[in-house]
A and B are shown apart, each in its own frame.
Chain A
Amino acid sequence: MKMMKPYVWLQTSDDSIQQVEQEIAMFCPLICQEIIQKGMGSSKNCAICLPQQVSPAMLSLILDYCRFHQVPGRSNKERKSYDEKFVRIDTERLCELTSAADSLQLKPLVDLTSRALARIIEGKTPEEIRDIFHLPDDLTENVEVEEEHVDDRSVDDLLSFINGNDGGKLNILTILIFVFT
């Protein structure tokens, strides 16, 4: 008779609970600790509460990754090509995946997605990086406020202000002020 595979119950960030093969889920150190140290996950009532970063979509991606790498006897080449394809997803999901993998302490996946993100950033200007990650520009917001205050000053005043003694520190902001005038 074939032994039934042990399962573990996991609760994701949207409060939904699902059953997962224990062997695969144990690949994540955080889940492993919960099972071994706290005896969690054995039934629906004591499902392991996963960190906020782990949505059902991310959990399913992470389990795919674990399922592939858990199989013994795969060659390094196979693993590498799987990994390459695995991170060919859009930047938003890549960020979410990094965050989820980090919260589950799944180091090899954090390493993989971090390298993929680094490749996306490499060679890009700060402006391009800001666009890719939708980073709000909170450093230059101050300048815009200052703009309103100094509105009545002449361009010459502004220029001498910028090129004055503090000019060295204001290099980056200078460009932005020119855009506005």
Chain B
Amino acid sequence: MADLISSLPDEIICYILSFLPSQQVVATSVLSKRWNLLWRFVPSLDFDTFNKYFWLLIDSSNKFSSSVCSFLVRRGDQPFYKFRLKGFSSMDVTECMKTQIWTTVSESGRVQILDLYCDWDTEIPSVVFSFKTLVALKLNFITMEYISFVDLPLLKILHLKNIISPIEIDLSHILSGCPNLEELKVKGLISRTIEKFIRLPKLVRASMDDVLLPLNFDFHNLVQIQLNVFPDWLLILKVLNHCPKLQILVICFYKV
């Protein structure tokens, strides 16, 4: 029987592989001569320790960091469109990896999906906030360099969770650079109080802490909101008044 996939051009095979975890992509290099070099041209990095297949291919957490490093080194400077890195704990992220992440991220000007879940020791350059091709930006347990400039015209999904920064982050400043945002999740972020008027006409889903809640905003297309608040009903009522199209309201609060 003929090889079923041989009629597909390299670009399509790379595209198919771009949906898979990186360890599996690398493993395809043993398939045949043609596949031997293909993995380097797959435009994605996807190391996710939460993926159910992850531990099938990597047997210990020590190997996690070395796999990521050697993947980046051997791949060279091929551009990424997806960069997803989810580590387990600070144990997994070595110095070598931190430097590699910093360099690769700084040079990923054409990236569309950036999804990092590392630990607070991992610092990310603020230049990511001016990657014009970004569609989804998810940062969790990251140290952020001071953000001076935000220009994310295509961004649809923004998750900022457990971020620390040398200088308090101004959430309204970030949001004002994301005119096409559709989904916003903010948690555990130390931010200045938001005074500026924010207009996010395309925002459909939001989830945020009460301290970050902008009181001067226009979210007129918001359908779903989750608020992590102390039970302050007056505040919730204020929010409801600003969201005429709201269908789903989720309130999470802690009993004191």
CB A53 to nearest CB in B, in angstroms, measures 7
Contacts of A53 in B (CB 8 A): 7
CB B176 to nearest CB in A, in angstroms, measures 29
Please, what's the 1-or-0 string for B1-28, where 1 marks a CB less than 8 Å from any CB in chain A?
Answer: 1111101110010011111110010011
How far is it, in angstroms, between the C-alpha of A121 and the C-alpha of B20 when the chains are bound? 8
Contacts of A136 in B (CB 8 A): 3, 32
- Please tell me if the beta carbons of B16 and A118 are within 8 angstroms of each other in the complex: yes
How far is it, in angstroms, between the C-alpha of A53 and the C-alpha of B7 when the chains are bound? 8
Enumerate A32-83 residues with CB–CB distance to B below 8 Å.
53
A14 at the interface (CB under 8 A from B): no
Contacts of A174 in B (CB 8 A): none
How far is it, in angstroms, between the C-alpha of A172 and the C-alpha of B9 when the chains are bound? 26
A1 at the interface (CB under 8 A from B): no
How far is it, in angstroms, between the C-alpha of A123 and the C-alpha of B20 when the chains are bound? 9
Partner of B5, one of A118, A122, A126, A135: A135
- Please tell me if the beta carbons of A134 and B28 are within 8 angstroms of each other in the complex: no
Interface of A is mostly: helix
A110 at the interface (CB under 8 A from B): yes
B53 at the interface (CB under 8 A from A): yes
How far is it, in angstroms, between the C-alpha of A166 and the C-alpha of B21 when the chains are bound? 29
B234 at the interface (CB under 8 A from A): no
Partner of B8, one of A102, A119, A134, A137: A102
- Please tell me if the beta carbons of A115 and B12 are within 8 angstroms of each other in the complex: no
CB A11 to nearest CB in B, in angstroms, measures 19
Range of interface residues on B (Cβ < 8 Å): 20 to 34
Contacts of A139 in B (CB 8 A): 30-33, 36
A86 at the interface (CB under 8 A from B): no
How far is it, in angstroms, between the C-alpha of A117 and the C-alpha of B4 when the chains are bound? 12
How far is it, in angstroms, between the C-alpha of A99 and the C-alpha of B35 when the chains are bound? 17
Contacts of A123 in B (CB 8 A): 24, 52-53, 56
Q: A135-B31, A136-B32 given as contacts; is B12 within 8 A of A98 (CB)?
A: yes
Partner of B4, one of A92, A118, A125, A126: A92
Contacts of A135 in B (CB 8 A): 3, 5, 31-32, 35
CB B175 to nearest CB in A, in angstroms, measures 26
Contacts of B24 in A (CB 8 A): 121-124
Please, what's the 1-or-0 string for A89-118, where 1 marks a CB less than 8 Å from any CB in chain B?
Answer: 001100110110010000000100011011
- Please tell me if the beta carbons of A137 and B32 are within 8 angstroms of each other in the complex: yes
- Please tell me if the beta carbons of A118 and B20 are within 8 angstroms of each other in the complex: yes
- Please tell me if the beta carbons of A134 and B9 are within 8 angstroms of each other in the complex: no
- Please tell me if the beta carbons of A121 and B16 are within 8 angstroms of each other in the complex: yes
- Please tell me if the beta carbons of A122 and B8 are within 8 angstroms of each other in the complex: no
- Please tell me if the beta carbons of A126 and B30 are within 8 angstroms of each other in the complex: yes
Q: What 9 pairs between A and B have smallest CB-CB spacing? A: A118-B19, A95-B4, A123-B53, A133-B5, A114-B16, A133-B4, A134-B1, A99-B7, A117-B16
**What is A's interface to B at a CB cutoff of 8 Å?**
53, 91-92, 95-96, 98-99, 102, 110, 114-115, 117-119, 121-126, 129-130, 132-139, 172
**What is B's interface to A at a CB cutoff of 8 Å?**
1-5, 7-9, 12, 15-21, 24, 27-28, 30-33, 35-36, 52-53, 56
